[in-house]
Amino acid sequence: MRRVAGDTSRRLLSASQANPSSWLVAAEVGRQTKRASLRGPPLRALAWRDGSRRTFFGIGEVIGVLTNPTEVLRNLTESKKMLEEARRELKESQERAQIPASHTFSPLPGFFDRPAEIQVLERSLGSVPGFTVLFGASSVGKTALLRQVLSDDKYHVVHFDLRIAGFADLASLYFSLSTQLESYFAAIPDKLGREWGWGEFEKESFAFKHDRLDVQKRLENGGEVKTSDIAHLLELFQSALLSYWNFQPMSNSERKAREAAKKDEKEKGRQKAATSKTSKQRDHPVSPQEAKDADKARSKTGAVPKPEQEDLHDSRSLQAAEAQVGDDELRGGERRTGTTTDQGEGKEEESKPPPKMMPVFFLDEAHKLPALIQSTEAMKTFLDSQLVLTKQDRLCHIVHATSDPFHLHWLRQLNVMQHCNILTVGDCSKAEAQRYFTDFLLPHVPDKLKSRLSFEEVYKVFGGKLAHLSDFVGEFVNSDGDISPRQSTHFLQAHALLNLHLVHAEPSEPGDEDSTGQGFAIYSSLRAASPHASPSPFGETDKAEFSAADFLKVMQHLQPGGEDSLRYFPLCRKLGARAVDGMIRGRLLELRWTEAITEEGEQSAEARARRREAVGPRVLPTTPVVRYAMGEVLAEYHAEGYTLPSASDLIT
């Protein structure tokens, strides 16, 4: 029996030496030791004698393994699964480390510079943190402007583009927001420099991770995400921002002292390792088998310390890494030549930590928010927390970009709008449009077609809407010059839109339900046509609430050569708020609560002075091509012999 056990133990030992994974068998043998039935001094004496190395397992351990193979196999299987999971997690961690950082706010390629708008945005975001609503019609360039400004290193942005929102209910809102905020604070040490002490700030991101894990466990047990979870998450955000502004990075002298302390600690570690190596050599001499491989023996005893490697991931930029390499080469040259740089000492400027970045929380297409999150309580909590971050604590900028003027109604209903700063982005001036046409568009037009393309003719239809200018030039080139502005896609769409609304508007006279304008439901309010819009103050309806006669009156004032815009509130008093808001929701008119940063179109000095004297929001055609189409539609009515209603009673 003893001979069999000895042979078995020797085979196991040989297998463990041949296969490193056999340590699992040794571990299992150790667990079976407590249950072994055969123990005694003779076995221990055989195992250890005169300090010699143990060469085989005890018979008791071996018998324990042989008598219970099922448990051994189960333990080995579990250990194998744990090893596979650990290996998979390590691989995923390495892959995540290689994922490049996203550059959502890199400047837009081919961006057309708009100095006035950029200056206003920089001043607004460079001041004390506040709540800003950036309004502008579709395709006016709001996102491009913000990308241009916020891509600067002065800003650190939490960005949600609600056109491709990562949430559609309370639970997904929580997890999307939590993940974004964790990534936001985890990136701060690399952005501001770990060498200045910002590495400690990475711990702020752990709070969001562990709060998310707690909520995830609750969901797995049948719970749900509550409004209080959103509130708690935003409290963590507030606390982390307070820590951010209160944190003081190290000075240059403190940084040098810290580096010197780390260097001393490493030196002490090397000395301790060398002392430990000498002790191990005295107490545990290397066996002849190990002595055959001299490098392996020296490495095992600690005689060959690992070379120090500088972690370049701690560098904030490629330039910093290159500068460090240059310093190392300079120091190496000084050691070789024996020269010093004492003559230049005192003239070099002392390095300083980079300034703190301004936190910005940016919601693009913010008017989609109430449709994505149906809980009014959750939305109220979300917006109130944004007021706390801006109006109360001044911790970060909040920016809502929207093309829906009624988003401001929604903010007013939730008691937020009175604390906001409104900026309105309009189309370009004529000088800017001509520069864009000449410098950006004409170079891509074949030489044989350039003489057939007139800026004045194109500007008369499309005005300063750069997107429409670009689209028409593309159509012009694709058709080999066989297309005019009146045949372009944008003009045909605007012309059809106006006619559809006139034909299917409310009856012009009471009791005239049999007329062609019987309010057919082809018209849909913006809310009904797209659920991603702010709610109407008059409720939801899919029916046009303005008459054809009222809209024709407005068209006569806003056609080319007429008024630039009409005042909103006097127009509401004349036609009714439902009628005017119906025109706005139908994308016929654009409502502007404030004046655009850049003056559009060609206005006389008298018209500009009269406009500055008038106070309040104004309405105007949604695009220049809609204004041009208004003139064309009115001309068709005259040509067909229709008598247009008098528009003299409208207040302009």
**Strand partners for 222:** none
* Cα 645 to the center of its chain, rounded Å: 51
Pairing of strands 155-161, 358-364: parallel
pLDDT at 111 exceeding the cut of 90: no
Q: Which two three-digit tokens encode residue 262?
A: 């780390």
169/490 Cα distance (integer angstroms): 36
* Amino acid symbol at 578: R
For the chain, report the end-to-end CA distance as a whole number of angstroms.
112
CA angle 442, 446, 448 (to 5 degrees): 115
Dig out the tokens for 609 from the structure.
């002075």
- pLDDT for 479: 94
Span of 264-268, 467-471, 525-529 with lowest mean pLDDT: 525-529
> Residue range 509-530: average pLDDT?
41
pLDDT for the residue 231: 92
- pLDDT tens column, 242-255: 999 988 888 777 77
Q: What are the angstrom distances between the C-alpha of 587 and each of 22, 282, 462, 526, 622?
A: 74, 89, 17, 8, 6
Quickly tell me which residue has 């009156």 as its tokens.
553
CA nearest to 552, candidates 649, 634, 436: 634
Three state DSSP letters for 484-538: CHHHCHHHHHHHHHHHHHHHCCECCCCCCCCCCCCCCCCCCCHHHHCCCCCCCCC
Query: Which residues 6+ apart lie within 8 Å of 197 measured at CB?
Result: 249, 250, 254, 255, 258
Order the strands of the 358-364 sheet from edge to edge: 155-161, 358-364, 397-402, 131-136, 420-425
Residues facing 132 on adjacent strands: 399, 421
**What is residue 172's predicted lDDT score, i.e. its pLDDT?**
85
Is 50 buried (19+), middle (13-18) or exposed (0-12) by CB count in 10 A? Answer: exposed
What pLDDT was estimated at residue 332?
Answer: 44
Residue with the bigger pLDDT between 393 and 167: it is 393
Is residue 613 a contact partner of residue 648, using CB atoms and an 8 Å limit? no
Name the residue among 573, 578, 522 with its Cα closest to residue 546: 578
Listed by start position, the domains of the chain span: 2-98, 115-248+355-425, 430-487, 491-639
CB 397 within 8 A of CB 429: no
- Cβ–Cβ under 8 Å, residues 125 and 360: yes
What CATH class has 115-248+355-425? alpha beta
- At 165 the pLDDT is 66
How much is the mean pLDDT over the chain?
76
CA separation for the pair 246, 242 (Å, rounded) = 6
Mean pLDDT for 470-486 is 94
Who wins on pLDDT, 439 or 27?
439
Over range 219-231, report the average pLDDT: 90
pLDDT 10s digits, 618-631: 999 999 999 999 99
**Tokens 């545990």, located at residue:** 284
CA dist list (Å): 44 to 12, 36, 521: 18, 14, 95
